[in-house]
Structure 1
Amino acid sequence: MQNWEKMFEKWNMFTALDDSLKINLNKLKNDRSALEDAFYQELSFGTAGMRGILGAGTNRMNIYTIRKAVNGLADYLLTNYNDAKNRGIVIAYDSRYMSKEFAIESAKVLGYYGIHTYVFESLRPTPLLSFAVRHLNTVAGIMITASHNPPEYNGFKVYNEHGAQIVPAEAKLIVESIQQTKDELTVPILEQSQVEEQEKLTWLNDEVDQAYLERLYEITQLSLEDKQSEKDIQIVFTPLHGTALDLVTKGLKQLQFSKIAVVEEQAQPDPEFSTVESPNPEEHQAFSKAINLGKQTNADILLGTDPDADRLGVAVKNSEGEYQVLSGNQLGVLLFDYIVKHIDKSKSVKPRMIKTVVTTELGRAIAEANQVESIDTLTGFKYIGEKINHYDTTGETFLFGFEESYGYLISDFVRDKDAVQAAMMATEMAYYWKQQGKTLFDALDVLYEKYGYYLEGMTSLTLKGQEGSQQMEEILTSIREKPFAEIGGMKVIAIEDYSSSVRTLTLEDKQETIILPKENMIKYLLEDDGWVCFRPSGTEPKIKYYYGVRGTNAEDSEQRLLGLKESLEQRVNRIID
């Protein structure tokens, strides 16, 4: 009998198995392939938590895999924090199936260990959870969400005492504690009534929301007069069936942005995300209803947040008068340019802008022109949060952080990407440019004329299963062992291998050390500010390759970018065919 069959038998023979999971398990019995997939491994706990398909099995999200993860987290906290029980943990959850149930299950495990929990009575955005950790001074936070994954998924994210996602060193210790829990079916818990009777569970209403909104009001760059006056700008907003409706609309209205048309079909939480193919503002189809409403209202800006409200997409009219979704890079540089233009530089000691290594280099150009140091991190906003935590002790000033995948942070009272902050600032920025007779696309042209026409792209290749994992490894091995000399007609000037932390300057035959954590990722730096980066996804069976160029105009950049894309696809296809 294989190991997965033994695990299935253990679950099948467990008499106290949750009734809904019993039904699910019975349905799987006649599908050996599905059964194997449900039990062949334990759901992996990555650098921030775990994410998976809902259902019965060790490789699924369910109350038992949640209990095991929380049991390990409790052990880690009690071992490393003397005040863990009293400071406690705050838990929030989004609109997905089983989200509130998983939050309560987490509180039941923590209650067994005497750790106080604060749980929101209703769904909340991820950035509010990050804020709540700091506001309540808890020792950690848990967010139940699968972000913009399909409806059959849910997830479990852990935040440290700074309100940032845990980083690899913390995750390693938590995983070690989780692995000490041998049987997920018998993790000790208290019943919800017991946790409440022992006053180890506090239900949160809107007190944290109000504190967040007060901080949100402070980050505006508007003048006092503008703060108090009604704004002539028409907004369309869709929360894509998620958590952002209340905070985004209140945040805008407290600055007198009151002309807000909400996409009503997408305003209510819906775990099926029934009106979109994917609840992801990166996918332009998610804006179809917002665009229709925008045409009806002649909107100046369309805002769309993902279900847990940590990512923001924006659409505005292009030169043809049609609504077009800005890329994550485009919105990021516009926000940064607006912020750096309006800050009081005398109050910004050692100002810093943080971006990831696969985010546009236009951000760096804007930073340098404004005497702001640009910092690169690995992909993942947890690394941006880690940098901000470090600045608490160094006296450096965080100005802005962003990544190409629609994640932005304006103010560090949150330590994760925050679509509520970004929605407010994007609207304020659109209002600023409208007063000058320009759209955000016009504002982009201003940046391109000043700094060069930067353009970026990304190709995502899905390679599922064991064979797919082998193919991903073959791709990475090939481009390491047989490196490009040129890509798309542009010479390679440096190769950065993040798995070995070595930067090779190809034209000088010289090597340098990369001062970043190790990761299975390779980046090529090209002449004329071009670049290419290969990395496997941390949450999906995909390998992604990113690429960027700087041309003299739109046509030049588009041709350069197409040359990179075609060269990369030809190389990858030769490897895996």
Structure 2
Amino acid sequence: MSWKKTLEKWKNEENLDESLREQLGMLDEEELEDAFYKELEFGTGGMRGKLGPGTNRMNVYTIRKAAQGLADYVKAEHGESIAIAYDNRYLSETFATETARVVGANGIKAYVFSSLRPTPELSFAVRYLQATAGVVITASHNPPEYNGFKAYNEDGGQLPPEEAEKMIDLVEQVESELHVNTEEVAVLEKKGLLEWIDDEVDRAYLEAVQGIRISDETDKDLAIVFTPLHGTAHMLVPASLKEAGYRNVSLVEEQAIPDPEFSTVASPNPEEHQAFAMAIEKGKETGAELLIATDPDADRVGLAVPGEDGEYQVLSGNQTGALMLDYILSQNGNLPENKTVIKTIVTSEMGRTIASKYGARTLDTLTGFKYIGEKIKEFEESKEATFAFGYEESYGYLIEGFVRDKDAVQAALIAADMAGFWKKKGFTLLEALEELYKEHGYYMEEMDSLKLEGRAGTEKISRIVDRFRQMRPETYGGLAVQAIEDYQSSEKTYLDGTKEAISLPKSNVVKFLLADDSWFCLRPSGTEPKLKCYYGVKSDSREKSKALLEQLSKEVTEEWSIVK
């Protein structure tokens, strides 16, 4: 059916939500085409898109269709229940309720948090309640006009490819998003098909978080400033730090208020340095030694620490990951010999070097924490490896596997312990990081992104990636090209033409492996209309690594700029 026919179907729907009908009347033809030319897709973070009318938008109808697909998936798995959480975004509570109404109409019990909760707690709740699946309504750190639907399996992990394909097939079998059966909340409550969950799960989750601590050898007077950036961590991170004995924690009060507009920041993303502006101001007032910021659904965490000049420096995700990994492996004497660190293919190679020092192996996955969660489950079942730490460059960390997604609550606590540990030894985190660079080499990373909205943008992104897929340069950024990994064809090609298979799932990703542990990788975002290019270099000095990054970025962006 063409997009215009789909549009007419919506316009002719007698019971169409009136607010959506009004919005339809305000859109021009180009906007209408973008809203209806396709259905929202599941990427690395589930289904995510702009709010508004249309099959390519987040609204009660696309939510109901996704919920029906999930309900059919649960029934196919002979399951009986599902856990649901939501964040502070526009319509999040509504979408959570609609999901419960749909699964309840299918005879499936919904355990629903009655107020905002972080994504990692939802992952925990699925496992704790022994539910068959889970949903969290969130768009993570996207702009205010976005929302999303993340689906989780019975292990508490985001659906991996095989399971996601099953669910997507079931979603596609739903005849019409406009006519999905629902049941009233009061009826579901009376039937026992809707149960509101809160304190019990909170207590169990916080108790589990306290269990990740490796050592109490940390300075409890460490001055900390925390900001949840208007999101869901406003209760749990402070509660976790207090329980651990930290008595000098200050909250950025203005950003502790759930706000769907994220009115105090340009972007509610701790990867963006501007998100720390108010925390830095508070830090200077209080003399804070560690600033902690979490994104709206509290699965990502960013850190900032004062430098020698007293100005705060925001650590990159790779830098924080390297510090955490070194701290965990150096202090945790209880890990067995088969300990394994899991990182993504676009995460710094420094982690592999650090892990090797402590006798741990490193396993790479595709981008998306669902792949890390999937590996943890495999480890538990096969007993061939023990999970030691999982992380990705985009500020996602997991210390213990009672959650199967990145967990900013766990990461915030381990960050405080780590900073307190180094303070007790007379070091700041920046000084500890410098020691790691001196020991292992100056690994540095950067990322460029190209935002291209709509159908034309999606097609151009594909053409750019295809261009690089076909290239066979001998050098890039002055570094010899050693091999090219094409994750779509599952082939690694060396410059002499030799090929070997890549065992990871197929994905539209191309990675160039360069000399001296350097590399760059192109990947269309699974959650935003963006092309992302990641760079990683290594040298024996900070200056050389910065120069290598600049040259790599210059050559790659020049190449994609000529694609029409």
Q: Do they superpose with TM above 0.5?
A: yes
- 2:62 matches 1:65: yes
Cα distance per residue 1:359-414 (max 9 Å; x no partner)? 00000000111100100001111110110010111222111001000000001010
Name the CA distance, whole Å, in 2 between partners of 1:505 and 1:151.
44
1:350 equivalent among 338, 343, 352: 338
Name the CA distance, whole Å, in 1 between partners of 2:26 and 2:65.
24
Verify the 8 A CA contact 1:48 1:166 in the aligned structure 2. no
Verify the 8 A CA contact 1:47 1:171 in the aligned structure 2. no
Q: Shift in Å at residue 478 of structure 1? A: 2.0
Name the CA distance, whole Å, in 2 between partners of 1:463 and 1:56.
21
Q: Shift in Å at residue 570 of structure 1? A: 2.2
- 2:502 matches 1:505: no
1:484 equivalent among 465, 470, 473: 473
2:287 equivalent among 293, 298, 312: 298
Q: How do residues 123-162 of structure 1 correspond to structure 2 at under 5 angstroms?
A: 123-162=116-155
* Aligned match of 2:544: 556
* Aligned match of 1:214: 207
* Aligned match of 1:538: 526
What secondary structure does 1:27 align onto? coil
* Aligned match of 2:12: 13
Name the CA distance, whole Å, in 2 between partners of 1:476 and 1:394.
36
Q: Shift in Å at residue 38 of structure 1? A: 2.1
* Aligned match of 1:42: 39
Q: How do residues 252-263 of structure 1 correspond to structure 2 at under 5 angstroms?
A: 252-263=241-252
Q: How do residues 302-317 of structure 1 correspond to structure 2 at under 5 angstroms?
A: 302-317=291-306
Q: Shift in Å at residue 131 of structure 1? A: 0.4
One-letter amino acid of the structure 2 residue matched with residue 348 of structure 1:
P
* Aligned match of 2:448: 459
1:526 equivalent among 510, 514, 528: 514
Instruction: Tell me whether 454-463 or 90-99 shows the greater mean CA deviation.
Output: 454-463
Moved over 6 A (4+): none
What secondary structure does 2:342 align onto? strand
Verify the 8 A CA contact 2:73 2:170 in the aligned structure 1. yes
Q: Shift in Å at residue 574 of structure 1? A: 3.1
Q: Shift in Å at residue 509 of structure 1? A: 4.2
Report the CA distance shift for 1:570/1:429 in structure 2 as closer, same or farther (over 3 A). same
Q: Shift in Å at residue 494 of structure 1? A: 1.3
- 2:356 matches 1:368: yes
2:167 equivalent among 151, 174, 184: 174
- 2:273 matches 1:284: yes
Q: Shift in Å at residue 24 of structure 1? A: 2.4
Q: How do residues 76-91 of structure 1 correspond to structure 2 at under 5 angstroms?
A: 76-79=73-76, 81-82=77-78, 84-85=79-80, 88-91=81-84
Name the CA distance, whole Å, in 2 between partners of 1:46 and 1:404.
18
* Aligned match of 1:55: 52
Verify the 8 A CA contact 2:138 2:147 in the aligned structure 1. yes
Report the CA distance shift for 1:303/1:573 in structure 2 as closer, same or farther (over 3 A). same
Instruction: Tell me whether 460-469 or 490-499 shows the greater mean CA deviation.
Output: 460-469
Verify the 8 A CA contact 2:34 2:454 in the aligned structure 1. no
Name the CA distance, whole Å, in 2 between partners of 1:564 and 1:205.
49
Name the CA distance, whole Å, in 2 between partners of 1:285 and 1:566.
24
Q: Shift in Å at residue 48 of structure 1? A: 4.8
Q: Shift in Å at residue 47 of structure 1? A: 5.3
Cα distance per residue 1:243-272 (max 9 Å; x no partner)? 001110010011111211100110010011
Q: How do residues 368-447 of structure 1 correspond to structure 2 at under 5 angstroms?
A: 368-395=356-383, 396-447=385-436
Report the CA distance shift for 1:337/1:343 in structure 2 as closer, same or farther (over 3 A). same
Name the CA distance, whole Å, in 1 between partners of 2:500 and 2:104.
50
- Could you tell me which runs of 5 or more consecutive residues in structure 1 were left unpaired when the two chains were aligned: none
Query: How many residues are matched?
Result: 563
Name the CA distance, whole Å, in 2 between partners of 1:134 and 1:459.
37
Name the CA distance, whole Å, in 2 between partners of 1:358 and 1:15.
48
Instruction: Tell me whether 285-294 or 468-477 shows the greater mean CA deviation.
Output: 468-477
Instruction: Tell me whether 69-78 or 296-305 shows the greater mean CA deviation.
Output: 69-78
Name the CA distance, whole Å, in 2 between partners of 1:62 and 1:399.
40
- Could you tell me which runs of 5 or more consecutive residues in structure 2 were left unpaired when the two chains were aligned: none
One-letter amino acid of the structure 2 residue matched with residue 57 of structure 1:
G
Q: Shift in Å at residue 547 of structure 1? A: 1.0
Q: Shift in Å at residue 43 of structure 1? A: 2.0
Instruction: Give the aligned CA root-mean-square deviation in angstroms.
Output: 1.4
* Aligned match of 1:74: 71
Cα distance per residue 1:476-534 (max 9 Å; x no partner)? 2222222221011110111111111111222x542211111111111111111111111
One-letter amino acid of the structure 2 residue matched with residue 231 of structure 1:
K
Cα distance per residue 1:85-106 (max 9 Å; x no partner)? 2xx0000000011111111111
Query: TM-score with structure 1 length normalisation?
Result: 0.95
One-letter amino acid of the structure 1 residue matched with residue 157 of structure 2:
A
- 2:559 matches 1:571: yes
Q: Shift in Å at residue 26 of structure 1? A: 3.5
Query: TM-score with structure 2 length normalisation?
Result: 0.97
Name the CA distance, whole Å, in 2 between partners of 1:434 and 1:511.
49
One-letter amino acid of the structure 1 residue matched with residue 553 of structure 2:
K
Name the CA distance, whole Å, in 2 between partners of 1:115 and 1:327.
42
Q: Shift in Å at residue 557 of structure 1? A: 1.0
Identity fraction in percent:
53
Q: Shift in Å at residue 470 of structure 1? A: 3.0
* Aligned match of 1:104: 97
What secondary structure does 2:507 align onto? coil
Verify the 8 A CA contact 2:350 2:443 in the aligned structure 1. yes
Report the CA distance shift for 1:575/1:53 in structure 2 as closer, same or farther (over 3 A). closer
Name the CA distance, whole Å, in 2 between partners of 1:10 and 1:216.
49
Name the CA distance, whole Å, in 2 between partners of 1:547 and 1:24.
41
Name the CA distance, whole Å, in 1 between partners of 2:32 and 2:136.
28
One-letter amino acid of the structure 1 residue matched with residue 244 of structure 2:
L
One-letter amino acid of the structure 2 residue matched with residue 171 of structure 1:
A
Q: Shift in Å at residue 8 of structure 1? A: 2.2
- 2:22 matches 1:23: yes
* Aligned match of 1:272: 261
* Aligned match of 1:323: 312
One-letter amino acid of the structure 2 residue matched with residue 458 of structure 1:
M
Report the CA distance shift for 1:47/1:419 in structure 2 as closer, same or farther (over 3 A). closer
Q: Shift in Å at residue 315 of structure 1? A: 0.3
Cα distance per residue 1:133-184 (max 9 Å; x no partner)? 1101100000000001111111000000000000111111111111111111
Q: Shift in Å at residue 40 of structure 1? A: 2.2
One-letter amino acid of the structure 2 residue matched with residue 235 of structure 1:
I
Verify the 8 A CA contact 2:45 2:527 in the aligned structure 1. no
One-letter amino acid of the structure 1 residue matched with residue 109 of structure 2:
H
What secondary structure does 2:26 align onto? helix
Cα distance per residue 1:69-112 (max 9 Å; x no partner)? 11111112212x22x12xx0000000011111111111111111
One-letter amino acid of the structure 2 residue matched with residue 387 of structure 1:
K
